[in-house]
Structure 1
Amino acid sequence: MNYQTFLPHSDLESLVSCYWTLEIPKKASSEKQRIIPDGCIEMAFILGDDIKRYTSQDKFILQPRAMVLGQTIEPFFIEPTGYVNTFAIRFYPYGFANFVTMPIKDLVNKETPLQFLFEKNSAKELEQNIIKAKDSRQRIEIMENFLLQKLKDKSTIDVIVKQTVDALFSSNGSNSITTILKENLSKRRQLERNFKKQIGVSPKQLGKVIRLQTALKLLLNKKRDNLTKVAYESQYFDQAHFTKDFKEFTGINPKEFLGNENMALSSLFYK
């Protein structure tokens, strides 16, 4: 696997986490890969062979070749049909809402073709330019020109929503909304309403995903191999609480995670 990440332009760094590329040679047989939530929204262009996304144990759809994957709050499986070549943009949770008019909650747990999010001809032109680009640097330049143009006509994200997301990340997802809002508890209902519209999920759901990412990094980077210590350092109440959340978002328990062939791709992304 050849996985690379690239930093965004300074004018986009508060909204875009990174650009990434993934290349995997065609294999005689490919394993299903379990994809788990990471709290971000991604725009992806499939430049290689098609990729299956399983909707049940044995039923699947082919992922759109130019799409946005909204917030996910449950794991799902994908399977390459051959050569993998993907170019993608990873947005911060509050980032993508600055470029579209559609409520972000309508994108949750699914792939949405670009033509449903932007003007059809504009989306098609962007896809063709990305396909024809000679390398990743040129694709990033094309993408940034597109995003910066869209940004000119869009209002900035709700300040309370951004502050809440930043507080969740800085506390590794452990801060409660009551703690974050402090003296502004009267704005809680407004926050939760705007949060779902602009982020796609509730503050509590995003916090749980962020806290899980902290635990995953400890496991993947082998900083901790004792599950009780992982649970403690990730701010879980106890190991049982950690195991419950882990299984909710990954579909397996922590002991099954490491070395699982179906988790190779997620392990690459979350290290």
Structure 2
Amino acid sequence: MPISLLTDIKLSGQPCFDFTDEMESASGSWFGGPIMGAYFLSCKDLKFNQPLFSDGIPSMIFMPDRADEVSLIKEGELLRLKSVWVCCGVIRDTQWIRPEQLEHILVLRFNPSAFYSAFNISPSMFVASPVCNFEDLVDQSWLGVIGEMYKVNSPAEKLTVMNKALSASGKSSYLPYLLEVAIDHIDQRKGNTTVSDLLAAIGGKVNQRWLQRNFIKYIGMPPKRYISLQRFIYTYGQCDRSKSSDFSDAAISYGYYDYNHFQKDFKHYMGIAPSRYRWK
């Protein structure tokens, strides 16, 4: 999703509803339900070319109108998507060309296990296409749900339609308890951890092979990659809010060995060095 908006979500640490009172029960937490958070986000202050990033959490983005189109630049190539698009997996060097008059988008972030189960999607689908049309992933019944969401006006009403459909699907949001503990540890440390530390935090109850297998099965990526994504987005957020052009302290505080380590990740995800990036 747009990296500036994802940074705000991650640093706030709270599900964000502009319609909180009527939909509070739908927000949930990591393990409380299919939808982790719903965000009605202003786009007025976003850069025209907004880099996209995923922290490994499936995010569904709704443009205001069903007829809206989405334009992306991926590694220099122009791509076009429809009004409901999904960001998941590892996104590299991809920018969203924000429509000039766009005021807001609605973003739903899903418990990964529930997302893959409810929509009958394999995590492997996002390896080659981490940003894609929602309708290319699902069957006609879910396209009908999207149609119903666009027939109602408020974000709360749209979320109600989606929640009813998810409940009716009867799909499981199950995650092994020790995997929940591992994910919670990574998130609490903001990615400043290692797989070895993670195994120790679990209390030595599982081995690295178990952790690797279950992360890939339920989250769609190895634990080392999930850790890397959290470390990067929190470091990016700190750098973006800093008035300093020296990002070494922020990088090291979030677990990078040094600035060069952070710079390597930055080029990998953003396609450019942090010193050449247009911050703010």
Fold conserved between structures, TM > 0.5:
yes
1:202 to 200, 222, 228: 222
Q: Secondary structure at the match of 2:276?
A: helix
Separation in 2, partners of 1:236, 1:42: 26
Gaps of 5+ in 1: 265-271
SS in 2 for 1:231: helix
- Pairwise CA distance, 1:170: 1.2
Q: Deviations over 1:195-214 (max 9, x none)?
A: 12322222111111111122
Tell me what 2:193 maps to.
175
- Partner residue in 1 for 2:55: 38
Cα gap change, 1:204 to 1:242, in 2 (>3 Å): same
Counterpart secondary structure, 2:72: strand
User: How far 1:95 sits from its partner (Å)?
Assistant: 5.1
Query: Is 2:121 aligned against 1:70?
Result: no
Structure 1 vs Structure 2: percent identity of aligned residues?
20
Aligned to 1:268: none
How far residue 24 of structure 1 moved from its aligned partner, in angstroms, is: 5.0
Q: Which residue of 2 aligns with 1:267?
A: none
TM-score in terms of structure 1 length: 0.78
Shift in CA distance, 11/139, structure 1 to aligned 2, threshold 3 Å = closer
2:119 is aligned, of 94, 100, 108, to: 100
What is the CA–CA distance in structure 2 between the aligned matches of 1:45 and 1:226, rounded to whole Å? Answer: 36
Q: Does residue 236 of structure 1 match 2:236?
A: no
Counterpart position of 2:272: 252
For each residue in 1:46-67, what CA deviation from the matched residue of structure 2 results, as whole angstroms up to 9, or x when unmatched? 334311122441x322113233
C-alpha distance in structure 2 between counterparts of 1:111 and 1:63, whole Å: 9
Displacement of 1:190: 2.6
> How far apart are residue 90 of structure 1 and its match?
1.6
Does structure 1 residue 47 correspond to structure 2 residue 64? yes
Which amino acid in 2 is paired with 1:179?
D
In structure 1, what is the Cα distance between the partners aligned to 2:266 and 2:225?
A: 13
Q: Does 1:220 align with 2:240?
A: yes
Superposed, which structure 2 residues align to 1:6-17 within 5 Å?
Answer: 6=17, 9-10=24-25, 13-15=28-30, 16-17=35-36
Structure 2 residue corresponding to 1:192, chosen from 202, 212, 220: 212
Counterpart position of 1:130:
149
Over aligned residue pairs, what C-alpha RMSD do you find? 3.0
CA contact (8 A) 1:70 1:111 kept: yes
Q: 1:155 to 1:208 in 2, by over 3 A?
A: closer
Give the Å deviation of 1:137.
Answer: 1.8
Structure-2 change in CA distance of 1:81 and 1:216 (3 Å): closer
Count, aligned residues: 251
Q: Deviations over 1:176-210 (max 9, x none)?
A: 22221235475322321221232222211111111
TM-score by length of 2: 0.76
Instruction: Write the distance in 1 (CA, Å) between the matches of 2:157 and 2:230.
Output: 32
- Paired with 1:82 and 1:240, the residues of 2 have a C-alpha distance of 36
1:128/1:194 CA distance change after superposition, 3 Å: same
Deviates more, 1:204-213 or 1:225-234: 225-234
